[in-house]
Amino acid sequence: MNQAVISCLHANLPAVEAVLKDIELQGITNITCLGDLVGYGPQPNEVIELIRDKKIPTCQGCWDEDVVDGLDACDCSYPSQLAEKRGHFAHQWTTDKLTKENKDYLANLPYSIRKDKCLFVHGSPNSQHEYLLPDMDAFAALERVENARAEILFCGHTHQPYIRELADGSIAVKIKNAAPKDIQEKEIQLPMRRIVNAGSVGEPRHGGTKATYVVHNEVTNEVKIREVEYDLELTCKAIIDAGLPQIFAWRLKNGFEFAEQAEDASHVCER
Amino acid sequence: MIERWALVSGLKGDLDTYELIQKDLKKTPGNITLFVLGDMIGPEKNCNRLLHRLINPKSNDLQPWCIYGWWEEQILLESGYRGDQRAETLRINKGEEVVKSLTNAVDKSFLDWIAALQFGFVELDCGLIHGSSKDIGENLTLDTPPLTLLDRLTRLQVNRLFTARSKEQFHLELTEGTVNSEVEDLNGNRKKEQKVPQKAVIGIGAGKNYTLYDVGTDNTQFVQAGYKSEKRIKGFGML
Ligand SMILES: [Zn+2]
Ligand SMILES: [Zn+2]
């Protein structure tokens, strides 16, 4: 039994269509989406309607939340003032474009979806805005999965797909300042856990131009990263026609990793 | 001269206890820095005299370095210092009466001083906070999973975390930690074994129970104000 997990569609309809086609060709019907249906891209309503049409269970992404609740991310989530300005512009553009019905849909998306041992979130179990980067502190990463009571945590938000296994962990503790007769030392074994980042369908930041998503075999637990080509000229043209910042098109076309991501990606806005 | 920290919390308006601690510390050898890790106020007592004393120490008082705690957060919420939010958690859990008692216990003239307090201090490689680096209301105790403790230490990038919220006194060392990480992405596979250096979480107590920390030797002493210091006798077996 295979399930597909997609994330960060970012209003890029040709990319979403191509990925859904790729999933269909594999005979997979079980799909979960990790949010960010909108933002950056030119077809927010179309993408939302496609996902609603297909009844794909979806978590709320950072963009989905911000478009509904007003900007929540602080300035620190942008690498420069220029990037921040572009982000705010795209935010406003998207807010203006969305129909009331689609806004309501985004507003009512859940923060997380749980299926047995799998937990699906956008950023991390703590926040839609927290980045779980592939090389973040291994204990902190394990803590995110463990405290969410999951065995596999599916996330997105970084736009870089990866599969991370955290195994053979242990922590030894000792009580100082205790009476000698009491048990003072013990070693705690940590469980094996995995974090799977689905990458991004509509705004990849893995260095290439292909849309990415993941396929998880629920029986063997194997996870595969899929890369899908799509007609990016179509999206780039739509970005420019819509009057969105041209850099969004340029980025898609060149597959630049560089994007609207803070230097300290582990930073979580406390606001 | 020995460098010592005195770590106090949960005074909740109790000036008598604060004076007792100040008296203790005058007799304690070493160069002492006094940290007050929040909950200077509470709903039980009028807190104005204590707040006045903390802001205007007597000439022979040790200067207190204060941060805000859970009760300070509640009064700031309720007084509109956190935007539209109010102290709803407190209201739901303890009722309207307690919210009223809290706002009555603190004169409004102190609110700006409270609002200007920091969330915590980072001194040397130590973090001094009220709850945890995740949440001011989080209780860290001997029963908190070590993975959680490690995360709270990592968030502040410190090796020792002094916390007050649980009111308990303990000194737990994370002596060793290891985990294997394997990442697969579009560039291939990479494996890494991550280890943690020795770290510790220290519960400093509340009210009359406070902690002395010897910076040079990394030793703690759990003290009760007015009594001569004694080492706390507690292990996993008793908890
Ligand atoms: Zn995204
Ligand atoms: Zn996001």
Q: How far is the CA of A157 from the centre of ligand 2 (A)?
A: 4
Q: Under a CB-based contact definition with an 8 Å cutoff, are residues B180 and A166 in contact?
A: yes
Residue B239: inside a domain, yes or no? Answer: no
The number of domains in chain B is: 1
Which residue range(s) make up the domain with B41?
A: 3-224
Which of B177, B219, B222 is facing A170, going by the closest CB pair?
B177
Residue B229: inside a domain, yes or no? Answer: no
pLDDT of amino acid B23: 95
Q: What mean pLDDT comes out for the span A4-27?
A: 98
The pair phi, psi for residue A241, each rounded to 5°, is -60, -35
Lowest-pLDDT range of A160-169, A184-193, B221-230 = B221-230
Q: Percentage of residues in chain B with pLDDT exceeding 90? A: 90
Residue B229 scores a pLDDT above 90: no
Residue B105: inside a domain, yes or no? Answer: yes
Q: What mean pLDDT comes out for the span A147-156?
A: 97
- Is residue A243 very low, low, confident or very high in pLDDT (cuts 50, 70, 90)? very high
Residue B8: inside a domain, yes or no? Answer: yes
Quickly tell me which residue has 């300290």 as its tokens. Answer: A264
Is the ipTM beyond the 0.85 threshold? yes
- CATH number (domain holding residue B166): 3.60.21.10
Tell me which ligand sits closest to the C-alpha of residue A265.
2
The helix or strand, by DSSP H or E, that contains position B51, with its residue range, turns out to be helix B48-55
Residue A265 scores a pLDDT above 70: no
CA distance B136 to B90: 14
CA distance B237 to B239: 6
Residue B37: inside a domain, yes or no? Answer: yes
Q: How far is the CA of A158 from the centre of ligand 2 (A)?
A: 7
The answer to whether B179 contacts A162, with C-beta atoms less than 8 Å apart, is: no
pLDDT of amino acid A263: 45
Query: How confident is the model over A200-240, as pLDDT tens digits?
Result: 999 999 989 999 999 999 999 999 999 999 999 999 999 99
Q: How many CB pairs under 8 A join A and B?
A: 145
Query: How confident is the model over A85-104, as pLDDT tens digits?
Result: 888 889 999 999 999 999 99
Residue B218: inside a domain, yes or no? Answer: yes
Domains and CATH numbers, chain A: 2-163+192-254 (3.60.21.10)
